[in-house]
């Protein structure tokens, strides 16, 4: 059995279901049992809060879906601040009966994703072909070939491009003969045609999340798809933060949904669901109802529970203090920073170390750099033994934690001193080199990223060059080495200001940019 402590669980949830354990009265916070199912990180305490409001937005989506279904491809962009509910809206819509009969494929961009060519496109391809993380090369090859040929034998031309995308060796003279630009064209074209062709078999909803972190190649794929939407039965559903720029404004089949904070009415409903309806809660609700960012509301409630201002069970809380005395931090970032500060030194350190690894954190890597003896890791926050055979025996030792929300990750990372960050990034390079010494090729982008931020100049140059070569040779990404700019996808500090990756390497080595200009 695998157990996760109560303190760390809210920040760092595994991509698995966590079930509170009954350990008897008086034992303080309850630990969680890992039950093995993969789940998305949208919920609070492992369960999603009741969905509220957003009726108009769902109506817009429904209308656009209907248009797409009748052969007028549509693009909908959902724009909003972090935590406002972009992902949740898409989740609700794509898990509703509206999409019965539709194939839904999704791809997420991730922080630092700008630096790895085609990352979301690769996810999409894997989802389409049913490729699991643990599939070996043979299985991947069979799945890709089988899926493509079943769709349309004409898609044989796409096999080398897709296998290359998936990092498999390709023995095809015609493909080998293509120059980088030719491969890039072929890859983008193959992906686009695949999706359009599939939409002729069954209507397709394509979800691309967090475009503000998207890499240049996936952007090119998206732009290509947008131009080809015309008569496809395809709804392209994307979301992004307000800073993201695109060129779709003039398309007649494009709609933007600007997601604002919840209305006071919807926020009230959300608070009722989170807190319950005891009359003593009314002043607190009054205080919060104007602050309609749902992530803010969830995190506020969690803070109040952690600080024992609220006691009881979820949905049935009771205030212990006069709300007039409660200080509500002005932003969700400030709230998260305060919560992190209240963790025990060990839990806090673990969380900070995890944040340097990234938003998704392989357990083995965390273990290698956490400087905590196994015992402490276990006692302090996480225990990881192979899950019992009834869960997912195949996933050990690659169990992965994920920060609950990108903001949680950003704030944790932003709270670390620069020198400490640099040191941790450097240690991560060592750890990856040791852990993955047999398959370093798969880790190049990650290594380059950490070497740059760890200010390991020689290694940074080396891995950046390798990443650049890999991207250029493999799929002809022009000037898209693993890490083009030290600043790309850089996380932001608590107050929203950029967090600097450290002196010395702001200007990445020329070798890295040799393949082309940084975007």
Residue ranges binding ligand ADP (CB under 6 A): 42-44, 48-49, 51-54, 80, 82-88, 270, 294-295, 298, 405
Tell me the two tokens of residue 338.
């305060």
Residues 205-224 within binding reach of Mg ion (CB under 5 A):
none
Residues 6 or more apart from 489 whose CB is under 8 A from it? 111, 112, 113, 114, 115, 213
Cβ at position 74, least distance to ligand ADP in Å: 21
Judged by beta carbon, residue 261 or residue 513, the one nearer ligand ADP is: 261
Question: How far apart (Å, rounded) are the C-alpha atoms in residues 374 and 461?
Answer: 34
Characterize the bridge pairing of strands 400-403 and 360-362.
Answer: antiparallel
**Residue (of 384, 466, 319, 376) closest to 18 by Cα position:** 384
Cβ at position 296, least distance to ligand ADP in Å: 9
Judged by beta carbon, residue 55 or residue 138, the one nearer ligand ADP is: 55
Across 99-166, the runs of DSSP E, i.e. the strands, are 103-108
Judged by beta carbon, residue 45 or residue 157, the one nearer ligand ADP is: 45
Cβ at position 7, least distance to ligand ADP in Å: 19
Q: Does 472 bind Mg ion (CB under 5 A)?
A: no
Secondary structure letter of residue 513 according to DSSP: H
Cβ at position 84, least distance to Mg ion in Å: 9
Cβ at position 78, least distance to ligand ADP in Å: 8
Judged by beta carbon, residue 87 or residue 466, the one nearer Mg ion is: 87
For helices 345-357 and 418-435, angle between their N-to-C axes, nearest 10 degrees: 70
Q: Which of ligand ADP, Mg ion, none has residue 225 at its interface (CB below 5 to 8 Å by kind)?
A: none
C-beta nearest to Mg ion: residue: 87
C-beta nearest to ligand ADP: residue: 85
Q: Which of Mg ion, ligand ADP, none has residue 52 at its interface (CB below 5 to 8 Å by kind)?
A: ligand ADP
Judged by beta carbon, residue 43 or residue 386, the one nearer ligand ADP is: 43
Judged by beta carbon, residue 87 or residue 443, the one nearer Mg ion is: 87
**Residue (of 144, 128, 149, 143) closest to 205 by Cα position:** 128
Q: How far is CA 131 from CA 141, 163, 190, in A?
A: 10, 12, 18
**Residue (of 411, 441, 507, 447) closest to 166 by Cα position:** 441
Cβ at position 54, least distance to ligand ADP in Å: 5
Judged by beta carbon, residue 44 or residue 377, the one nearer ligand ADP is: 44
Cβ at position 295, least distance to ligand ADP in Å: 4
Q: How many CB atoms lie within 10 A of CB 317?
A: 21
Q: Which of ligand ADP, Mg ion, none has residue 445 at its interface (CB below 5 to 8 Å by kind)?
A: none
Residues 6 or more apart from 478 whose CB is under 8 A from it? 180, 181, 184, 472, 515, 516
Residues 69-88 within binding reach of Mg ion (CB under 5 A):
87
Tell me the two tokens of residue 420.
């400490």
Q: Which of Mg ion, ligand ADP, none has residue 44 at its interface (CB below 5 to 8 Å by kind)?
A: ligand ADP
Cβ at position 168, least distance to ligand ADP in Å: 33
Tell me the two tokens of residue 453.
């931020």
DSSP per-residue string spanning 344-397 = -HHHHHHHHHHHHH-SEEEHHHHHHHS---HHHHHHHTB---PPPTTS-GGGTT
Total chain residues near Mg ion (CB under 5 A): 1
Instruction: Draw the binding track, 378-397, toward Mg ion (x: CB under 5 A; -: no contact).
Output: --------------------
User: Is residue 447 classed exposed, middle or buried when 0-12, 13-18 and 19+ CB atoms within 10 A define those classes?
Assistant: buried
Judged by beta carbon, residue 87 or residue 472, the one nearer Mg ion is: 87
Secondary structure letter of residue 323 according to DSSP: G
Residues 6 or more apart from 515 whose CB is under 8 A from it? 468, 469, 471, 472, 478, 479, 480, 481
Judged by beta carbon, residue 211 or residue 270, the one nearer ligand ADP is: 270
Q: Which of Mg ion, ligand ADP, none has residue 294 at its interface (CB below 5 to 8 Å by kind)?
A: ligand ADP
Cβ at position 516, least distance to Mg ion in Å: 30
- Do 489 and 112 touch, CB atoms closer than 8 A? yes
Q: Which of Mg ion, ligand ADP, none has residue 107 at its interface (CB below 5 to 8 Å by kind)?
A: none
Instruction: State the residues that interact with Mg ion by CB under 5 A.
Output: 87
């Amino acid at each position: 059995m695998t157990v996760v402590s109560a303190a760390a669980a809210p920040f760092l949830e595994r991509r698995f279901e966590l079930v509170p354990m009954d350990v008897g009265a008086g034992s303080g916070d309850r630990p969680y049992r890992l039950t093995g199912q993969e789940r998305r990180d949208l919920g609070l305490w492992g369960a999603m809060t009741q969905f509220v409001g957003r009726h108009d937005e769902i109506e817009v989506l429904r209308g656009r879906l209907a248009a797409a279904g009748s052969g007028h491809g549509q693009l909908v962009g959902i724009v909003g601040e972090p935590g406002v509910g972009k992902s949740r809206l898409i989740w609700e819509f794509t898990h509703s009966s509206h999409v019965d009969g539709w194939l839904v494929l999704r791809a997420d961009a991730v922080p630092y994703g700008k630096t790895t060519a085609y990352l979301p496109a690769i996810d999409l391809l894997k989802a389409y072909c049913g490729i699991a993380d643990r599939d070996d090369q043979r299985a991947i090859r069979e799945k890709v070939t089988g899926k493509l040929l079943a769709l349309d034998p004409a898609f044989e031309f796409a096999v080398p491009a897709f296998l290359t995308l998936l990092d498999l060796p390709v023995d095809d003279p015609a493909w080998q003969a293509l120059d980088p630009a030719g491969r890039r064209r072929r890859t983008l074209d193959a992906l686009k045609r695949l999706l359009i062709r599939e939409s002729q078999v069954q209507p397709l909803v394509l979800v691309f999340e967090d475009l503000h972190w998207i890499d240049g190649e996936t952007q090119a794929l998206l732009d290509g798809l947008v131009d080809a939407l015309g008569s496809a039965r395809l709804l392209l559903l994307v979301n992004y933060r307000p800073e993201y720029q695109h060129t779709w404004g003039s398309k007649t089949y494009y709609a933007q949904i600007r997601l604002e904070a919840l209305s006071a009415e919807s926020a009230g409903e959300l608070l009722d669901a989170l807190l319950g309806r005891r009359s003593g809660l009314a002043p607190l609700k009054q205080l919060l109802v104007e602050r309609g960012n749902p992530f803010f509301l969830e995190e506020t409630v969690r803070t109040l529970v952690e600080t024992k201002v609220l006691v009881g069970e979820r949905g049935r809380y009771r205030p212990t203090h006069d709300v007039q005395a409660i200080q509500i931090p002005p932003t969700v970032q400030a709230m998260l920073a305060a919560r992190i500060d209240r963790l025990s030194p060990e839990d806090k350190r673990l969380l900070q170390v995890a944040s340097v690894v990234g938003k998704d954190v392989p357990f083995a890597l965390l273990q290698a750099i956490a400087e905590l003896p196994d015992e402490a890791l276990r006692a302090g926050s996480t225990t990881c033994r192979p899950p019992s055979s009834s869960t997912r025996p195949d996933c050990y030792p690659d169990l992965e934690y994920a920060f609950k929300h990108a903001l949680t990750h950003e704030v944790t990372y932003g709270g670390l001193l620069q020198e400490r960050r640099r040191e941790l990034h450097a240690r991560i390079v060592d750890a990856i080199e040791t852990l993955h010494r047999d398959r370093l090729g798969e880790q190049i982008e990650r290594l380059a990223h950490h070497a740059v931020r760890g200010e390991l100049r020689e290694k940074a140059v080396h891995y950046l060059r390798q990443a650049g070569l890999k991207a250029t040779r493999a799929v002809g990404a022009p000037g898209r080495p693993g890490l083009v700019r030290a600043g790309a996808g850089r996380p932001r500090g608590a107050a929203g200001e950029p967090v600097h990756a450290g002196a010395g390497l702001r200007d990445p080595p020329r070798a890295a940019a040799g393949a082309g200009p940084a975007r």
